[in-house]
Structure 1
Amino acid sequence: MRKAISLVAGLGLLWALAACDANQVYEKNQELSKAVWTVQEKPTFEFDIQDTTQRYDIYFNIRNESMYGYYNLYVKHTLLAPNGQRLSQLLHQMLLMDAQTGEPRGQGSGDIFDHQFLALRGQQFHQPGTYKIVLEQYMRQDQLPGIMAVGVGVRKAAR
């Protein structure tokens, strides 16, 4: 029960902070069932881009429990254009805990921590429309316990 209340409060805080940012284009987080990210589960996020002259920064949001068994998380993204063409596919390593001390990074208290990682800086979109980002956990483990939610944020890049 405590975890559920903390999860709702944390997601609410992220939404409130995103609502205050005039450069925020998109922000969405998806909870993972039973705080386990399976290999088969590939969260997909869709966002609209109309201004093709603007550059955008794309962030990945990760929420993990302190019992997560690794200091890092590998995530592969696939970015698709409105016509379905693959624009990019990269593997990202995100450091959730200090490798030496095991201390959690990110924002949080107790046993739940939120992280936001800049995944794609200054991304240019050449056609208006709905873009998709598909995220896959790439830890070579069918079930990855301790990952509670993943998300994507898109912001206008500073010029």
Structure 2
Amino acid sequence: MRKSVQLLVALALLFILPACDANQVYEKNLDLDKAVWTVQEKPTFEFEVLDTTQRYDIYFNIRNASLYGYYNLYVKHTLLDPSGKRVSQLLHQMLLMDPQTGEPRGQGSGDIFDHQFLALPQQQFHQTGTYKVVLEQYMRQDQLPGIMAVGVRVAKTAK
């Protein structure tokens, strides 16, 4: 029962704390069916850019269970502008656990851990409108059990 209470408190903080950040423009997390990220699933996140003079930091959010079998996660992003033209595409390696000790990184309690990785720092957008970020898991297997949720956060770069 104690782990359940800790989990509820952690989840509540996860939703409350981002609301306190004045620089945050967008944040959305998507739960993956049965805590498995399949190759076919390509979560897409859409956000509005209204100020082209501002620079933005784009973060990737990952929630994993301790049953995830690797210390890292490869994710490919594709960033599309309002017309659908590709702005960038890159493969990212995210360390979910310490490669030497196997200790989990990120915030968590029990066997669930939340990570936020600065993936695209200081992005400048040249037109206003709706941009899309598409995420793909790029590991060497069709299904990744233990990846519970993925998300994107966009915040104004602190000056």
Same fold (TM over 0.5): yes
CA–CA separation in structure 2 for the residues paired with 1:125 and 1:109: 37
The question of whether the paired residues in 1 share the 8 Å contact of 2:58 and 2:118 is answered with yes
CA–CA separation in structure 2 for the residues paired with 1:26 and 1:4: 28
Give per-residue Cα distances to partners, 1:96-130, cap 9 Å, x unaligned. 00001100000001100000000000000000000
Report the CA distance shift for 1:140/1:9 in structure 2 as closer, same or farther (over 3 A). Answer: farther
Give the drift of 1:158.
1.4
What TM-score, normalized by structure 1, do the two folds share? 0.94
CA–CA separation in structure 1 for the residues paired with 2:53 and 2:76: 27
Query: CA-atom RMSD, angstroms?
Result: 1.9
Give per-residue Cα distances to partners, 1:68-96, cap 9 Å, x unaligned. 00000000000000000000000000000
Gaps of 5+ in 2: none
CA–CA separation in structure 2 for the residues paired with 1:66 and 1:101: 14
2:31 alignment counterpart: 31
Report the CA distance shift for 1:154/1:55 in structure 2 as closer, same or farther (over 3 A). Answer: same
Q: Secondary structure of the residue that 1:135 maps to in structure 2?
A: strand
Aligned amino acid, residue 132 of structure 1: K
CA–CA separation in structure 2 for the residues paired with 1:5 and 1:38: 30
Give the drift of 1:62.
0.2
Give the drift of 1:56.
0.2
Aligned amino acid, residue 149 of structure 1: A
2:22 alignment counterpart: 22
Aligned amino acid, residue 130 of structure 1: T
Q: Secondary structure of the residue that 2:16 maps to in structure 1?
A: helix
Q: Where do residues 119-158 of structure 1 align in structure 2 (5 Å cutoff)?
A: 119-158=119-158
CA–CA separation in structure 1 for the residues paired with 2:25 and 2:134: 18
Give the drift of 1:14.
2.0
Give me the identity figure in percent. 80
Q: Secondary structure of the residue that 2:133 maps to in structure 1?
A: strand
Give per-residue Cα distances to partners, 1:5-60, cap 9 Å, x unaligned. 87765443222111000000000000000000000000000000100000000000
CA–CA separation in structure 2 for the residues paired with 1:138 and 1:102: 21
Report the CA distance shift for 1:119/1:4 in structure 2 as closer, same or farther (over 3 A). Answer: farther
Give the drift of 1:140.
1.4
What TM-score, normalized by structure 2, do the two folds share? 0.94
Aligned amino acid, residue 53 of structure 1: T
CA–CA separation in structure 1 for the residues paired with 2:134 and 2:7: 23
CA–CA separation in structure 2 for the residues paired with 1:114 and 1:137: 17
- The alignment status of 1:40 with 2:25, answered yes or no, reads no
2:61 alignment counterpart: 61
- The alignment status of 1:92 with 2:92, answered yes or no, reads yes
The number of residue pairs the alignment matches comes to 159
